[in-house]
């Protein structure tokens, strides 16, 4: 028997919403047999930017963005753990108020992509103070086109936020790419 998660992954999106059907075993009842199944169906659309913002904790001077492929998630975590200037900084995966809130959107590839785009935009809009971005070696605002950073995060960071580009391979390689409120490197 396929697991519910496998069945959910097999669902096909007809549009930007997904219909999820799942069964739950009800507790034994004095009025009926045990193991009665209740079938639930709901339609799940991507969350709104405001819904994502409500689920994110984003105090000033705490956001580390990253872009550069699948290995950059671990590089960002390593940078937070080893670079003194990133003390108190977190990536989006560490900012959820309820870690399980995101789970319903991750059962389908297309819905998951929409979810991350929308919540990445929410994180960018909610960021304040000084933010860092871990990008492949380079300078200025030159990075891969079409990434979540390029499409959803960078264009939605408020003008008053300072953004510092950091190199994953060199902790001392830091460059202001957006001055925002003038800040001095630590």
| Model pLDDT for residues 78-136, shown as the tens digit of each residue | 999 999 999 999 999 999 999 999 999 998 899 999 999 999 999 999 999 999 999 99
Average pLDDT, the chain: 83
Residue 54 has pLDDT above 70, yes or no: yes
- Write the CATH number for 154: 3.40.50
Same domain (yes/no): 20, 96 = no
Q: Are residues 27 and 59 in the same domain?
A: no
Domain holding 28, by residue range, is 1-45
Mark whether 90 and 136 lie in a shared domain: yes
- The beta-carbon contacts of 95-98 under 8 Å, at least 24 apart in sequence, are 95/56, 95/57, 95/58, 95/62, 95/63, 95/123, 96/55, 96/56, 96/57, 97/54, 97/55, 97/56, 97/57, 98/55
130 domain residue, yes or no = yes
pLDDT of residue 34: 53
How high is the pLDDT of residue 1? 42
pLDDT tens per residue across span 65-78: 999 878 999 999 99
Are residue 23 and residue 97 in the same domain, yes or no?
A: no
The answer on 113 and 55 residing in a single domain is yes
Q: Do 92 and 34 have their domain in common?
A: no
Question: Is residue 51 situated within a structural domain?
Answer: yes
């Amino acid at each position: 028997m396929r697991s519910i998660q496998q069945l959910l992954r097999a669902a096909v999106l007809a549009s930007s919403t997904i219909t999820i059907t799942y069964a739950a075993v009800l507790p034994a009842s004095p009025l009926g047999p045990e193991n009665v199944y209740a079938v639930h169906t709901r339609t799940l659309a991507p969350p709104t930017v405001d819904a994502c913002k409500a689920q994110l904790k984003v105090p000033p001077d705490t956001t580390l963005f990253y872009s550069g492929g699948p290995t950059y998630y671990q590089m960002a975590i390593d940078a937070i753990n080893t670079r003194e200037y990133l003390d108190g900084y977190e990536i989006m995966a560490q900012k959820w108020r309820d870690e399980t809130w995101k789970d319903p959107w991750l059962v389908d590839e297309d819905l998951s992509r929409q979810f991350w785009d929308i919540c990445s935009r929410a994180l960018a809009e909610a960021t304040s103070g000084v933010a860092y971005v871990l990008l492949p070696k380079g300078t200025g605002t030159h990075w891969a086109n079409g990434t979540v950073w390029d499409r959803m995060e960078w264009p939605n960071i408020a003008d008053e936020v300072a953004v510092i580009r950091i190199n994953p391979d060199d902790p001392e390689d830091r460059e202001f790419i957006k001055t925002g409120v003038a800040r001095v490197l630590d």
